[in-house]
Amino acid sequence: MSLSAPAEHLRSSFLNWTMKAGRGAVRRDYALYHSFFTTLQQPERFWERLASCALAGKFVHYRFMAAVKYLLLAGDPHPVRELYPDLARGTSRLTPGELFQAFCDQHWERIVVAQLN
């Protein structure tokens, strides 16, 4: 995978963030996020797209993932919600990365706008 420097910085930053040791739900969430980022169907596209949004600053990881979860909590029926234990209603056959990337593609503008506010 060949990424631009900003995209590679975000990718490694997000992956390092997911490796944090936490307890209980925090550890479970980090493991879920790690599975999202390591099984993306089109990783180059995801990371380059994220890098092009100029999302930076403190807590970008938390803010991005909070925007994703906010949309799911608001009732979006996307199948990625099945991977969140507190939102799941069934099971999916797709990998976490495929589901996560499909959700982000569908809601990219809303996630990024939430980030910038």
Can you give the pTM of this predicted structure? Answer: 0.75
Domain boundaries, the chain: 5-116
* pLDDT at residue 61, rounded to an integer: 85
Token readout for 91 is 């099971």
What are 13-40's pLDDT values in tens digits?
Answer: 889 988 876 677 678 888 899 999 999 9
